[in-house]
Amino acid sequence: MLSSRYLAIFFCCTLFWLLPFTGYADDLATEVIDAEITLQKDHYVLAADIAYQLSKKATIALQSGVPLYWSLQIKLLQQHPYLWDKTVLKTDIHYRLQYQALLNVYRLQNLSSGETYNFSTLYAALDLMSEIQDFPLIEKSKISPEEDYLCALKVKFDRGLLPVPLRSIAYIDKQWYLSSDWTLWPLKK
C-alpha cells in the first residue's frame, strides 16, 4: 500500500514538472494565419499566409551567425471512415536563414528550390517566407472526386539542425519552441 502511494506522488510530481512544457508552443509559435488549396488549371496549388515569430534567443542566435532552419510540411490525406487516413501527398519546403555579418544582410535560402535571397532586414526575410503563392502540389487527375481529402499544413522549426551544443537545450527551452501546430482543412474540389 505504501509503495503505491509513493508511486502516485511520484507521478503527480512528474506531471507537475512537465506541465509548463505543454504551454510553451503557444507563446512564440509560428502561426498559420490562412491556407487554402485551389485548383488552377490541372493542378492544385497552395496559397498560405504564415506569421513567423522569433524569440529573443533565436534572434540573438541568428545575429550571432547561427543558421536557422524551417520546413513547411504539407500533407494531403485521403479520409477513410474506419481506417487510418491515407497520405496521398507529402511534401516539404525547407528554408535556411542566416545572417551575413560582412554585408549586414540576412540570406534566405529555399533549400527545396535552391533560390537565395538577401535582405537587409530580418522582417523582409521573414516576410518572404510568410507568403506562399501558387505552390503546385498535385495534379487534378490524382484526386478522386468521390473521396474526401484533408489538407494539413505545419511550419516546423528544425531544432535538430541547430548546432550540437544548442540542440539539447533547444528541446527543453520554450524560446526554441517555434513550430506551429498542424492546420487542417478539407480540400475543396
Q: Which residues bind another protein (CB under 8 A)?
A: 60-61, 64-66, 100-104, 107, 116, 118-120, 124, 160, 163-169, 171
Smallest separation (angstroms) from another protein to the CB of 177: 15
Q: Which of 171, 182 has the CB closer to another protein? A: 171
169's grid cell: 537545450
Q: Which of 12, 60 has the CB closer to another protein? A: 60
Smallest separation (angstroms) from another protein to the CB of 189: 36
Distance, in Å, from the CA atom of 173 to the CA atom of 158, rounded to the nearest integer, reads 14
Three-state secondary structure call for residue 179: coil
Cβ atoms of residues 38 and 47 within 8 Å:
yes
State CA 169 to chain mean position distance. 19
Three-state secondary structure call for residue 174: helix
Smallest separation (angstroms) from another protein to the CB of 77: 27
Q: Which of 49, 158 has the CB closer to another protein? A: 158
Q: Which of 149, 176 has the CB closer to another protein? A: 176
Smallest separation (angstroms) from another protein to the CB of 99: 8
Diameter of the chain by CA atoms? 70
Smallest separation (angstroms) from another protein to the CB of 166: 5
Distance, in Å, from the CA atom of 47 to the CA atom of 185, rounded to the nearest integer, reads 13
- Give the H/E segment covering residue 185: strand 183-186
Q: Which of 83, 164 has the CB closer to another protein? A: 164
Distance, in Å, from the CA atom of 43 to the CA atom of 139, rounded to the nearest integer, reads 4
